[in-house]
Amino acid sequence: MSFLWFVSLLSLVCGTFPLGFGKNVSSRPSVVNIGAILSHNSTIGRVATIAIEEAVKDVNADPSILPGTNLWLQMQNSNCSGFLGMVEVLQLMENKTVAIIGPQSSVVAHISSQVATEFQVPLVSFSATDPTLSALQFPFFVRAAQSDLFQMTAVAEIVEHYLWKEVIAIYVDDDYGWNGIATLGDKLAERRCKITYKVGISPDSVDNRAQVMDQLVKVALMESRVMVLHVNPKLGTLVFSVAKYLQMVGNGYVWIATDWLTSLLDSVVPFPFENMESMQGVLSLRQHTAESDKKRAFLSRWNKLTGGSLGLNTYGLYAYDSVWMVAHAIDKFFSQGGVVTHSNDSKLHFSESGDLHLEAMTIFDGGNRVLNNILESDFVGLTGAIKFDLDRSLIHPAYDIINVIGTGSRRVGYWSNYSGLSIDAPELLYSKPANRSHANQKLYEVIWPGNTIEQPRGWVFPNNGKLLKIGVPLRVSYKEFVSKIKGTENFQGFCIDVFTAAVNLLPYAVPHEFIAFGDSHHNPNYTDLVYGITTGKFDAVVGDIAIVTSRTRLVDFTLPYTASGLVVVAPFKKRNTGAWAFLHPFSPAMWMVTASFFFFIGIVVWILEHRTNDEFRGPPKRQCITILWFSFSTLFFAHKENTISTLGRLVLIIWLFVVLIVNSSYTASLTSILTVQQLYFPITGIETLREGGEPIGFQVGSFAERYLREELNISKSRLIALGSPEEYARALDLGPDKEGGVAAIVDELLYVESFLSRQCSFRVVGQEFTKSGWGFAFPRDSPLAIDLSTAILQLSENGDLQRIHDKWLAKSACTMENAELESDRLQLKSFWGLFLICGIVCFIALAIYCFQIIRQLYHTETEEPDLSSSSGSHSNRLRRIISLLDEKKESSKRGSKRRKVEKSSENDKVDDHLGVDP
């Protein structure tokens, strides 16, 4: 009896004075209700059920979390039904539930999240991966796994990595399938890829094999061979079984399954051989979980629990961590002083509620605080670091890329949102700078369907008996490029031969038929021909199709198989020599400089020879005549005046060399002008043609008309359409002054070369003012355009392209050797070096001469001091310099003799003065 009193007293003391098991232990309830909404009959549901139960046991057994409080778990089976899921959530609301693990299905999550928001109860889903389950629409929904937004990004990057452009999407026809494939379409579009065909399969088709077969038969008739399968495990198994029956899992096919397949492979032990056989070579994704001791220990524990009959998939790991996430949040809620209370929802109070008992469902008052605690989670679980980013997504989203082969699977790489595709685990990359360069995107070798390591091309021509419809222009001129063979539906010509040769190089057959486009009377409009691809009239266009900007916005072109740009063709006129032909050899600048140097050299030589040479002395009039005569007579080397001074002779030698070169050049140029007929072009290029007002011709159907109007702003009234080479010649001969005539024609170079090979009265003037080429047109992102581009490169490298060109396109008969050429005038730039040397020599000679004069003047003033004193003024010194320049300088012998005569005369004067007889 005393023992009972002791126990009661101890209980009272423990209740009054907490023993320190945790904060606010006394205010914590002994039990907290949580719920779980699963599909018990599904693969993921069976695994998640065990994982959640084990997590609840571990939480309740751990004294460090929720001390004194146990989690009470109530599981509900939604069977992946939205209606049943809503009912199960409502039942959990009656039991004062504070958090719900799940729902498992994305379909159920859409409805359940609305109910949870109304009652402010957090939903923590470990497997609802629908990317449209956003926090904005469903604030109480928390995704404790990776969103399909990241999974579809991974699929898109795999498609881009293998250079595929088109995929076919096969999906389950519900919220999970629709939204996942819609996200895939967006991610593919970002990489210039696309979904060409979508196949939605009803979830109820699991037991209807015929319906699935009907859908896959349609897929087999499509061009693309890259399949993305986004379904549930049961439906996916059926799809692969039917695909194997239809021989759609062999060579050339690519199957990419989302993570439903890896969940199935990891869970079902052993996996049925007949199912595994239909999945050989398939690529799949698995949500990546980091390796750790905790994960390995739980896996060992799992095997003991299940006896090896049920495998553990990643959704089971996320389900386990979800329970701990909720437990940590509730524990923090109690630590914050929170109390589990509920209040009635005024919206559910009706005067007559019938049998629904809606008044029993209440709002969890602490729901927002628990939700915030969940979003602030920061711990390490079985799946790795559990932490949310600002978008309420788990940090570090990553996937394993799995290749199904043999009786199991192997990992060929990883995808992470941090660095893309890699063969290194994401944990090793997080410590390094992000590198998404193309060279860094790597995967190990894949065994593809058909047990081959050769990468599938990803598309084929559909095996439905249809031929590729190829539009071909029905030309009425320049038929060497494209022409229809009379009496048949076949075509021939340069363009057709190039296309045929390229197709023959492809590793597969291209069944096709040519369809003529045009009325047989006029060349068709090539832009309309290309537009036929976008309307579905043609599958491709082959011919002399110029690759221009406006057309590349509609279709894709192959690489150009020949270059061709716009040029101007104009007639030329023969220019007669005339009476003033002798002036043509030199340009005006050359004439002016040459004449100036004649005067300059004459003056320089006169200065250097004036003091010493009697021929350069005399009256001023005579000296001017001498300068003019001497300078111009050097042109014919007929100058009679001799040069005595060394400097004069140096200047004359250099000048005679210049005269020799100029004279020879003039003679050669004049001979050419008088013997070779000159050609005169009134139009020199596109600029002069645009600035004038003359009419301009263009070929019917060519893009030249649009270019002239839109790019060069030439009035449409000036443009005249011409349909044949004969019309070209007739219009050019008439000229711009007559009706129907043109000043010039603007057309593509290849047409012009063909035209000039038969017409020698016209020439290409100016430069090619656009750069383009001819290619074959295909629909946007057509893989055939890529393969044909490669084939065209091969034709160019092996010389076949040139041989086809030589076969159809003859060289011009009007070659440059036979043409009458225009002789260019000699320009000053060809002789400026000679004139520069001559000028430098003249200035050096003048400088030396001036130095000698100054030196002589200095010595004269030194020897005659009386003169020096009297010449203090500048005017006297200037007169002395001029006198010295004009003074005749005697040679040394003549100077001594003259001094003797002067001395003798002086002696005679003295004798006469003294009266002495000599």
Per-residue pLDDT tens digits for 387-414: 999 999 999 999 999 999 999 999 999 9
The answer as to whether 872 is a domain residue is no
Q: pLDDT, tens digit, for every residue of 191-200?
A: 989 999 999 9
714 vs 700: CA distance, rounded Å: 17
- Per the listing, tokens 């010509």 go with 493
Q: pLDDT, tens digit, for every residue of 562-572?
A: 998 899 998 87
Q: pLDDT, tens digit, for every residue of 661-716?
A: 787 887 877 777 666 555 555 777 888 888 888 899 999 888 888 899 988 889 88
Residue 130: the pLDDT is 94
SS3 491: strand
Q: pLDDT, tens digit, for every residue of 428-442?
A: 999 899 888 888 999
- Per the listing, tokens 């590349």 go with 552
Residue 57: the pLDDT is 96
Tell me what the pLDDT averaged over the chain comes to: 83
Residue predicted with more confidence, 683 or 13: 683
Residue 636: the pLDDT is 67
Same-domain check for residues 282 and 412: yes
Return the closest-CA partner of residue 538 out of 468, 463, 466.
468
C-alpha dihedral (115, 120, 122, 128), degrees to nearest 10: 30
Q: pLDDT, tens digit, for every residue of 742-786?
A: 989 999 999 998 898 888 888 888 888 888 899 999 998 788 898
Return the closest-CA partner of residue 283 out of 259, 263, 266.
259
**Two structure tokens written together for 307:** 């006896």
Q: Give all strands (DSSP E) within 8-133, no chain letters.
A: 31-38, 70-77, 99-101, 123-125
Q: pLDDT, tens digit, for every residue of 72-98?
A: 999 998 887 878 888 888 888 888 899
Return the closest-CA partner of residue 660 out of 827, 844, 841, 838.
838
Confidence check: pLDDT of 472 > 80: yes
The answer as to whether 103 is a domain residue is yes
How many CA atoms within 13 Å lie on the side-chain side of 488? Answer: 8
586 vs 105: CA distance, rounded Å: 93
Residues 6+ apart with CB under 8 A from 31: 69, 70, 71, 72
Same-domain check for residues 388 and 332: yes
Residue predicted with more confidence, 613 or 369: 369
Return the closest-CA partner of residue 825 out of 586, 617, 530, 615.
586
456 vs 878: CA distance, rounded Å: 101
**Two structure tokens written together for 644:** 């005595």
Residue 628 CB neighbour total at 10 angstroms: 13
Same-domain check for residues 111 and 97: yes
Same-domain check for residues 571 and 692: yes
Q: pLDDT, tens digit, for every residue of 528-553?
A: 999 999 999 999 999 999 999 889 99
φ, ψ at 822 (rounded to 5°): -90, 130
Residues 52, 36 contacting (CB under 8 angstroms): yes
Confidence check: pLDDT of 141 > 90: yes
The answer as to whether 296 is a domain residue is no
Cα angle vertex 645, ends 643, 651, to 5°? 70
Residue 813: the pLDDT is 52
756 vs 569: CA distance, rounded Å: 9
Q: pLDDT, tens digit, for every residue of 846-885?
A: 788 777 777 776 666 665 555 444 444 566 656 666 665 6
797 vs 800: CA distance, rounded Å: 8
Q: pLDDT, tens digit, for every residue of 257-296?
A: 999 999 999 999 889 999 999 999 999 999 999 999 999 9
The answer as to whether 909 is a domain residue is no
> What is the edge-to-edge ordering of all strands in the sheet holding 99-101?
70-77, 31-38, 99-101, 123-125, 141-143
Return the closest-CA partner of residue 89 out of 123, 65, 55.
123
Residues 6+ apart with CB under 8 A from 795: 498, 501, 502, 505, 561, 801, 804
DSSP 221: T
CATH number at residue 741: 3.40.190.10
Same-domain check for residues 137 and 56: yes
Residue 811: the pLDDT is 61
DSSP 95: T
Confidence check: pLDDT of 579 > 70: no
Same-domain check for residues 616 and 645: yes
Q: How confident is the model at residue 378 (pLDDT cuts 50, 70, 90)?
A: very high
Pairing of strands 678-680, 573-575: antiparallel
**Per-range mean pLDDT, top range of 321-335, 340-354, 809-823:** 321-335
Same-domain check for residues 272 and 383: no
Q: Which range (227-231, 333-337, 576-580, 853-857) has the least confidence?
A: 576-580
Residue 901: the pLDDT is 45
Confidence check: pLDDT of 143 > 90: yes
281 φψ region: left (φ > 0), alpha (ψ -120 to 50), beta (else): left
Same-domain check for residues 560 and 593: no
Residue 878: the pLDDT is 63
Residue 214: the pLDDT is 93
Q: Which range (11-25, 223-237, 454-468, 766-780) has the least confidence?
A: 11-25
Residue 357 CB neighbour total at 10 angstroms: 11
Residue predicted with more confidence, 910 or 37: 37
Residue 891: the pLDDT is 47
Residue predicted with more confidence, 781 or 128: 128
Q: How confident is the model at residue 248 (pLDDT cuts 50, 70, 90)?
A: very high
251 vs 845: CA distance, rounded Å: 92
Q: Which range (187-196, 582-591, 906-915) has the least confidence?
A: 906-915
Residue predicted with more confidence, 789 or 869: 789
Same-domain check for residues 154 and 181: yes
Residue 900: the pLDDT is 45
Please give the single-letter amino acid code of residue 541: V
Report how many domains make up the chain: 5
597 vs 657: CA distance, rounded Å: 13
Residue 918: the pLDDT is 38
Confidence check: pLDDT of 182 > 90: yes
SS3 288: coil
The answer as to whether 711 is a domain residue is yes
585 vs 823: CA distance, rounded Å: 9
Residues 224, 188 contacting (CB under 8 angstroms): no
The answer as to whether 535 is a domain residue is yes
Residue 914: the pLDDT is 38
Same-domain check for residues 322 and 386: yes
Residue 362: the pLDDT is 82
Q: How confident is the model at residue 7 (pLDDT cuts 50, 70, 90)?
A: very low
Return the closest-CA partner of residue 34 out of 319, 355, 344.
319
Residue 308: the pLDDT is 86
The answer as to whether 383 is a domain residue is yes
- Distance, C-alpha 590 to centroid of its chain: 52
CATH number at residue 46: 3.40.50.2300
Residue 349: the pLDDT is 57
SS3 sequence, 454-476?
Answer: CCCCCECCCCCCCCEEEEEECCC
Residue 25: the pLDDT is 46
Cα distance between the two ends of the chain: 191
The residue-averaged pLDDT of 497-512 equals: 91
Q: pLDDT, tens digit, for every residue of 413-422?
A: 999 999 999 9
Residue 885: the pLDDT is 60
Pairing of strands 254-257, 226-230: parallel
- How would you class 24 by CB atoms within 10 Å of its CB: exposed for 0-12, middle for 13-18, buried for 19 or more? middle
Residues 25, 67 contacting (CB under 8 angstroms): yes
Residue 879: the pLDDT is 65
Same-domain check for residues 595 and 550: no
Residues 323, 59 contacting (CB under 8 angstroms): yes
Structural domain for 223, as ranges: 148-287+396-440
Residues 6+ apart with CB under 8 A from 585: 665, 666, 669, 670, 673, 825, 826
Residues 747, 699 contacting (CB under 8 angstroms): yes
Confidence check: pLDDT of 651 > 70: yes
Domain boundary among 771, 793, 808: 771
The answer as to whether 367 is a domain residue is yes
Residue 823: the pLDDT is 45
Same-domain check for residues 165 and 279: yes
